[in-house]
Structure 1
């Protein structure tokens, strides 16, 4: 569905922002959605197949690349792949050492996974916006949105995973009583202010996954919309604007992966602290 076809700008934008949705339609049963309206009617039990597929694909790519680098690793002169992987690992190691103050062998591998996985998903944004939608339309698939982090379901799912770990380690390290005491006696250490403290702390706790998810989604979605709007321009203007925006977005996709990972490590560090 290229922008140059006889398609209105509104239809073009809606098409590129629509996920390939599978779910229980009230009239057709379990089926693929062929419009945004059908996708909304499927409700809670619908699943975005493109988001799931590309997320899993980037996870598999991450595992394959790092496994390959581990198999060819040498103590002699390292190759390009080994150099790149070692740079990423060293970067994450320094990040964790600076932001995490507890002792937990899970945190560094978790930070590495979050950073590389989100970075790979974000990097899909640099592929021209018409390439995969056009390819899959020729294969009979109506919609194909390839950047998982432009879907709030994906970013919220990752953020909730980090949030459950925060709750788990808060209870494991501090105990149920210690965690409850932290919520009820912070920031004001007086029994009369326990209801006020609980309100503040529970809101602050619940905001963590929401802010993680929405920050990543908002930045990636906004960038995707701009790429789509640029694709609506005349051919000469597309190359004039698309290339500089793509170069700038190399920084954005990396920065957003870094921010998500850093905040997750900081929140997990707070969960390991005794007050």
Structure 2
């Protein structure tokens, strides 16, 4: 089956939800998701590096103005949520927000545009939205999870880490096993909910575009795809913002010190 001549809507949908993969079993790699996520990350770095080098103190250009507004917005958000001192939080928040936004933005490309081009080059499958792949979102969430542990040890030490997970919510050593179990569930649920929230929203958005393309004639698709694309711009931005905010909140919670009697 090809994109240009699908055998049925079911086959068309199945085709568009299949990643370009190599390997088998656990060692299966979604090449398309890795390619687009890394490429968009490099674009973000090169774009901001170039703008930073060409920044002027006079009247800024439109692109410089947009970047400055994003940086000021992220910086204000970090200051409002993170009370500790860290040189990593603001750059991390900026990277998370812009990178996730760029990956989400791929969902606005015509659903068959890049897959058709790559099909002519001999590649049978291609998914262009990295955040619609649970492997990408959960990998980012695991990165945040590791930072949570690092910041907990950094700000609270080993003793504070142990107290944090054995004296909450019941502040007595007799309840340490119960506290530890409850806190572990809370700790593990943070990266799971962080990754699955982004994946679920972007997967649903991508699926709606695919359904519109599969079930409607080409000349009438814009009646639904255009309004959904306009509304989806809000979802794309909101999901990037939520991922950034939750990252800041989790790290702020990890760096908050409390005394236990």
Aligned to 1:137: 119
Q: Cα offset for 1:6?
A: 4.2
The higher-RCO structure (CA 8 Å, 6+ apart) is 2
Distance of 2:34 and 2:123 partners within structure 1: 16
Distance of 1:250 and 1:65 partners within structure 2: 21
Task: Note the 1:42-61 alignment, pairs <5 A.
Answer: 42-61=24-43
Q: Cα offset for 1:71?
A: 1.5
Aligned to 1:229: 211
Instruction: Choose the corresponding residue for 1:203, options 164, 185, 200.
Output: 185
Aligned to 1:161: 143
Task: Note the 1:159-198 alignment, pairs <5 A.
Answer: 159-198=141-180
Q: TM-score, normalised by structure 2?
A: 0.96
Q: Against the structure 1 CA distance between its residues 9 and 193, is the aligned structure 2 distance closer, same or farther, given a 3 Å change threshold? A: same
Q: Cα offset for 1:193?
A: 1.3
Q: State the Cα deviation string for residues 16-69 of structure 1 (Å, max 9, x = none).
A: 01011011xxxxxxxxxxxxxxxxxx1111111101100011001101110111
Q: TM-score, normalised by structure 1?
A: 0.91
Runs of 4+ off more than 2 Å: none
Q: Secondary structure at the match of 2:22?
A: strand
Q: How many residues align structurally?
A: 256
Name structure 2 gaps, 5 residues minimum: none
Instruction: Choose the corresponding residue for 1:269, options 243, 248, 252.
Output: 252
Aligned CA-pair RMSD: 0.9
Name structure 1 gaps, 5 residues minimum: 24-41
Distance of 2:6 and 2:195 partners within structure 1: 36
Q: Against the structure 1 CA distance between its residues 145 and 6, is the aligned structure 2 distance closer, same or farther, given a 3 Å change threshold? A: closer
Aligned to 1:22: 22
